[in-house]
Each structure stands twice: as C-alpha cells, then as structure tokens.
Amino acid sequence: MNSSAHSPTASAAQALAAATPAVISVSPTSGSTAGGTTVTVTGTGFTGATAVRFGAAQAPSFTVVSDTQITATTPLGTGTVQVTVTTPIGTSNQFVTYTYVTTPAPVLSSVSPVSGPSAGGTTVTLTGTGFTGATAVRFGATPASFVVNSATQITATAPAGSGTVQVTVTGPGGTSNGVPFTYTTAPVPTLTSVTPTSGPTAGGTTVTLTGTGLATASAVRFGATPAASFTVVSDTHITAVAPAGTGTVPVTVTTSGGTSNGISYTYSAGPILSGVSPNQGPTSGGNTVTLTGANLTGATAVTFGATPATSFTVVSPTQITAVVPAATAGPIGVTVTTPGGTSTLPSAYFYVSTPVLTGVAPPSGPLSGGNTVTLTGVHLIEATAVRFGTTAASAFTVVSDTQITAVVPAGAAGLTDVTVSTVGGTSNAASYTYLPAPVVTTLIPSQGPASGGITFTLTGTNLAQATTVLVGGAPAGFTVVSDSHIVVDALPGAAGPVTVTVTTPGGTSAPKTYTRVGSPGI
C-alpha cells in the first residue's frame, strides 16, 4: 500500500521543486557593457533571493519587489549571458538571456538657460546626442527629475544648489561630459498686475506687466504658451503681445532668479451683434435701443457709425441697452467692442428726419369734427400719429412723403396746433381753427318785392367765415360786413315766404324767413 507518490521523501522533493525560483523574462533584454542598467526580472519563487547573476557576475545590487519580480543593476559584462536568481531553495535554470552591447556614452553640447535660482525649479533644456535610455541627469552630484524628449534633447528640472556645477547625463553607455550651470542668488520676480486682464482668443493684444525683478526676463508665458513677443521696459515693467489661447490662464515672467507668481489673463470670445431694436429713430438721437447678440459681456464701446453711443449698459452676455447719439438722416452700422474684439452690424440703424408741416387745407372746420383735411409737408412717410392739439385724428392716411389726409376729431372753438409724429420726432405745428356754427338772429327787412332788386341784412354771430347764403334754396350774393352782419341780395321769385340760411366752415345756421310780396293789382 506504500506509494512513492505519498512518501515523505517524494513530498519533500515536490515542495523543493515548487519553491525553486524560475526566471521567465528580463526587461530590458540588453544594456551597456559598462553595466549600471536597471533590469526588471520577472518569474516565480523570488522570495528570499540571495543573488542575481548575469552569467557568472553577480549584480552589484538588487531589490526583491515581490515573489514574482526583482529589479537588479547589471554588472560589467560582454556578450549574451544567462540571468539567474538564487534563493535558499536553489538557483533558477531557465535559459533567459541578457545581451551586453557596446553603447557610446551620451554627449552633452549645451544647457538652456545656463543659470537659475539657488532654490532650483528652473526648467532646463539639455541638447546633445545619445540620450536614448538615459538613466540619470545630475547637477553636480545632485540628481534631477527629467524627461527624455528625443535622442538629442532632455528637459530637466534643476534641483536646489549653489555656485557653478556641471550638468551630466548618464545613459547605458556611461556618463556624458559636463556643461556648466550657475546657481544665482537673484530674487524671484514678482508680478502685481496685468493690464488689460483680457483679450481675444486670436491673441495680438499688447499687455503691460507690472511687478519687481523683471529686468532680466528671459521668458513671458500665458499659461504654457510663450508670449508672441515681449519688451523689458524697466525692472518693474514689461510689455508683451499675448499669443492665441482660450479660457483663463496665469501670466508668468521667468528671469535668472526664477519664475514669478501668476496673474490671471482671460481669453474672451469675440462679440456677435445680431440685432438692434428699434432699428430707427430721430436724427437728434436720445432714444434708447436694445442690442442683441452673444459674447457681449465686458463691452468697452458701442458706436453708431463712428460716433460713440451717448451711454450704454451691458444687461447680460446677450443684451446691451444704448442711448443713440445724434447723426444725419440715413442708414448706419452699429459696432460693439469687447476685450474679445469687435462686431459690426452694417446698416443696422436708420436715422429718420423730423417731419415738417407746411399747411392744412381747409384750415378750419366744425366743432364736431368729422371733416377731412389735407396736411402737406416733408418727411411724412413714416407717420405714426396725427394730432389736433392733444387729440388724435379720428383717422389718417399717408398719401406720400409730402401729403397726409386726416379726419378731424371734435374740438373746442378756436385755433389748435396740428402736428405729425414719426420715429424721427414730432413736426412743427400748423394751425387749424375749430369754428362754431353760424347763428342768425334777425333778418331786416323781413319782406320785399317778388321782383327782387333790394338787399336785406342778417345779424347774428359767427358769420365772418360765411361761404354761402341760400335764399329759398338758391345761392344769393352777399357781403360780410362783420362777424355779426351780412348784407344779402334779395333774389326774385314767386310771392310768398322762403328760408334764408348762412353756411360757414363751422356749419349752417338755423333758417330764417324772408317773404316775397307780389305787386298790387290794378
């Protein structure tokens, strides 16, 4: 019943076999003959490892990361060798290889900038050859953080230091020559303001930077983007041309003393003007219009043609109210300017001339109104109202730019002002007279021969504007003596009574009786 599979000797052998380290892969698979390459060894059973060998040479250092991973530094060597791991249980025997290659040491030709503050933090660009696979950048003996951009360029952040030190690059082929970098004690620049604080996304805005320690500025950046150009005016002032950008970014200045604090600069989208309402008004200006569009926040100017608005208020990003300035009649473009740029809406607003009245015909009428008059003048085509005093016409029709017909409303006796209003304003006043109807109180003599040939006198009131006197329904000749007297020619006719009436623009009088008397018979 004894089975070798269950014997103590067999179990120990299996446990030993299970715990023996095994190497599956190494990365990278090659490196410099000078050694010093960091290699990651992957496999199993690495816990408690006592040695890592590259061929017969033991790695000068290694770290057991986990039971399945070790990082090791390669020793000197040549050719292709087997990589093994040894633990108290045993040594791996998989044929996983590492190849030593002859790699030239990197060559460093320049560093830029060549100096920076002793506090470190300067971004330095290293230029040269053989940077691929670089494992270290040092400023003197102090390691620096770095990024290999290409075989010929590395970007490194200078650590803290003092004096002049040699910058070196270490790669698979060794360590480069040194290029000097000088630590300075210049103060870090400080920014206190940026003016203006915003501009268009297209860039191009000239910005004034104010602060201290700016005299040795080597860079001005808007966010991560260098200024299109900059000029050091003094130790406290720099003018810079903003590059293109979006959003809000910090503006910084870099000098030999380091990089300044950031001051916010906002890229603003350009304004879009889409409408003006109302879109017309008087040449005298003074009326308020509403501009609509987009990106109107921060507007610095509103102009009608070349003339600034009398005043304006930014209501929201989509609306501005503006008081229109005076100008000559005709269409004109409206422009809105913001830190993001300008937007012009061509012929968006029309200046309308003030109407002018030259006459009203007929110039008078009854108190009851209802009669039609013709108004003449210029600039009448846009009429919005016709008024007799303060009372609107019962109706009106714009015939042309020079003529309007209007139905007169009722009014009180006497003169009143007639005006026409348009979007261009209200006209001068033309006179119109409300006339009461004529009244005849006496007719003397009240009779006469049927053959006519005599005159009679009418007395009363409101007779001065008489246009017609009817005797028995027929027009008779008459003479207006005064507002209270008219002399009338008696017309021939059949014997008997006839009615006499007087008509004026104010109406027709109540009838009076005149009696024609026949000749006596023989």
Q: Are 338 and 346 in contact (CB under 8 A)?
A: no
Specify the pLDDT at position 12: 42
Mean pLDDT of 95-99: 94
Specify the pLDDT at position 2: 36
CATH architecture of 4-101: Sandwich (2.60)
Specify the pLDDT at position 521: 57
Q: Are 111 and 128 in contact (CB under 8 A)?
A: no
Specify the pLDDT at position 18: 53
CA distances from residue 84 to 70, 92, 139 in whole angstroms, order as listed: 11, 5, 36
Q: Going along 68-189, which residue ranges are E strands?
A: 69-73, 80-87, 90-91, 97-101, 107-112, 115-117, 123-129, 136-139, 142-150, 153-157, 164-171, 174-175, 179-184
Domain spans of the chain, in order of start: 4-101, 107-184, 190-268, 277-352, 356-435, 439-517
Nearest to 121 by CA among 259, 218, 217: 259
For domain 190-268, give the CATH number.
Answer: 2.60.40.10
Q: pLDDT class for 293, splitting at 50, 70, 90?
A: very high
Does domain 107-184 fall under CATH 2.60.40.10? My reply is yes
Least confident of 216-225, 243-252, 253-262, 496-505: 253-262
CATH architecture of 356-435: Sandwich (2.60)
pLDDT one-digit tens code per residue, 337-359: 998 889 999 999 999 999 999 99
Q: How far apart are CA 105 and CA 127, in angstroms?
A: 14
The conformation of residue 236, written as its DSSP 8-state character, comes to: S
pLDDT higher than 80, residue 242 = yes
C-beta atoms surrounding 415 within 10 Å: 12
pLDDT higher than 50, residue 7 = no
* Fold assignment, 439-517: Immunoglobulin-like (2.60.40)
pLDDT one-digit tens code per residue, 163-175: 999 999 988 777 8
C-beta atoms surrounding 115 within 10 Å: 20
Specify the pLDDT at position 116: 84
pLDDT one-digit tens code per residue, 51-65: 999 999 999 999 999
Mean pLDDT of 172-182: 89
Q: Domain 277-352 in CATH: superfamily?
A: Immunoglobulins (2.60.40.10)
Mean pLDDT of 9-19: 48
Task: Give me the amino acid identity at 209.
Answer: L
- The first and second tokens of residue 497, run together, are 């009574």
Nearest to 54 by CA among 82, 26, 31, 23: 82
Specify the pLDDT at position 14: 45
pLDDT higher than 90, residue 35 = no
Percent of the chain whose predicted confidence (pLDDT) is above 90: 83
Mean pLDDT of 172-192: 88
| This prediction's pTM | 0.52
Specify the pLDDT at position 141: 93
pLDDT higher than 60, residue 3 = no
In this structure, what are the phi and psi dihedrals at residue 318, rounded to the nearest 5 degrees?
-115, 5
pLDDT higher than 70, residue 5 = no
Tell me, yes or no, if the two domains 4-101 and 190-268 fold the same way.
yes
Question: What's the distance, CA 243 to chain centroid?
Answer: 19
In this structure, what are the phi and psi dihedrals at residue 4, rounded to the nearest 5 degrees?
-60, -25
Mean pLDDT of the chain: 92
Mean pLDDT of 453-482: 96
